[in-house]
Amino acid sequence: MKEENTAETVAKGEKAISEVATVVENKDSTTETLLRNAILTSETLFRLEQVKKLKNSTAKKGERISIARLMGTIIEEYLDDKYPQTKELYKLMKNMTSENIING
């Protein structure tokens, strides 16, 4: 990650980053996109670093870690932390989806 300082982010005490992130999760894919000046709050940056450390410790050597997947994990953790009832909603949605597939 390359940190960039802009007048807006310095004034807010936040960090802007430029990051090359894998967009597609396929092993054969080399599709990438460049995210520029993504504004991250201190809490989001902290969560991103924590998840990244966790993924790095469990990832196979040389395995690429998707920023999109990291952000998804961060969003899930945030919702689980702030709105505990969302776990129950996830279960209901999963059950409804699997029942619809079975019942056609």
DSSP labels for 32-73?
EEEEEEEEE-HHHHHHHHHHHHHHHHHSPTT----HHHHHHH
Q: What confidence tens digit (pLDDT) does each residue in 17-57 have?
A: 444 444 444 454 455 455 566 666 788 778 778 877 777 77
**Cα 97-100-104 angle, rounded to 5 deg:** 145
Q: Report whether 68 contacts 60 (CB < 8 A).
A: no
- Let me know if 69 is exposed, middle or buried by CB neighbors in 10 A (0-12, 13-18, 19+): middle
The answer to whether 16 touches 39, Cβ cutoff 8 Å, is yes
Range of the domain at 55: 2-103
Per-residue pLDDT tens digits for 55-78:
777 767 777 767 777 777 777 777
Q: Is residue 70 a contact partner of residue 55, using CB atoms and an 8 Å limit?
A: yes
Residue with tokens 């995210």: 35
pLDDT for position 88: 81
What is the tally of structural domains in the chain?
A: 1
Q: Which of 38, 34, 32 is nearest to 74 (CA)?
A: 38
